[in-house]
Amino acid sequence: MSIPADDVPVPARVRELAGAARLTPAWRNGLGGLTFRTDDGRYIKWGPLDLETSMAAESERLAWAAAWVRVPEVLEQGSDDTHEWLVTRALPGESAAAPRWTADAATAVRAVGEGLRALHDALPVEACPWSWQVPDRVANARRRGVAVPEALRQGPSVDRLVVCHGDPCCPNTLLADDGRWTGHVDLGALGVADRWADIAVAAMSTEWNYGPGWADALVAAYGVEPDRERMAYYRDLWNAT
């Protein structure tokens, strides 16, 4: 995932959804999906249909989570035979992977860890209709033709069930100018799972965005001691699926 160049071609559907608004490229994912920011306070996400999750699923999860945490308001969602799109109202703040925050890793990592803990504490497990637990993730991978190693098909015992973000990489936390977290984005895989499924991936992603040596700082900001066994397992599961 990366921030694309300003001259990235704008898909016709995105141009149609933007109307008269000016578009600025904000993000490109590994599947070729693009996210654009408009000058009238919206984000337009567009990308190929994907079996792992969908923007329809994200739309449902955002609407549900909005009762407890700050997430983008869905304005429009749709698809055609090959691609899908999601239009949301912009939240205050900037991605924790924006250049100003990659240059201030200590502030960003602390905010991501604190924001993830706040998300877990706020979302009610008993009310969540979706699961992101190991059997469901393995089954999803199988449907996509991914062979998950046998050693990963059953996870460690559950430490604490929470409603996980599902894609807790650092860019998906937003920060205010003062370095505090302000919200969460990209919740297409949100569901109930052990909290370490999120913590491990968030910690792993610090290396991609800020360089080595920040994983334990994120775990400390979350408010727990590192659980090396669970962290290793959920990192491997993420990479395998």
Where is the binding site, in residues? 172, 186
50 counts as catalytic: no
Helix intervals (H) in the chain: 12-18, 55-65, 99-102, 105-122, 134-143, 195-210, 215-222, 228-240
Catalytic pick among 81, 167, 178, 198: 167
CA 202-206-209 angle, 5° bins? 125
Residues at the annotated binding site for Mg(2+)? 172, 186
Which residues have C-beta within 8 Å of that of residue 84, sequence separation ≥ 6? 46, 47, 48, 49, 54, 55, 56, 77, 78
161 CB-side CA count, 13 A: 12
Distance, in Å, from the CA atom of 229 to the CA atom of 232, rounded to the nearest integer, reads: 5
Instruction: With residue 194 as reference, give the H or E element that holds it.
Output: strand 191-194
Report CA-CA distances (Å) from 25 to 11, 43, 46, 62, 92. 11, 10, 11, 22, 17
Active site residues: 167
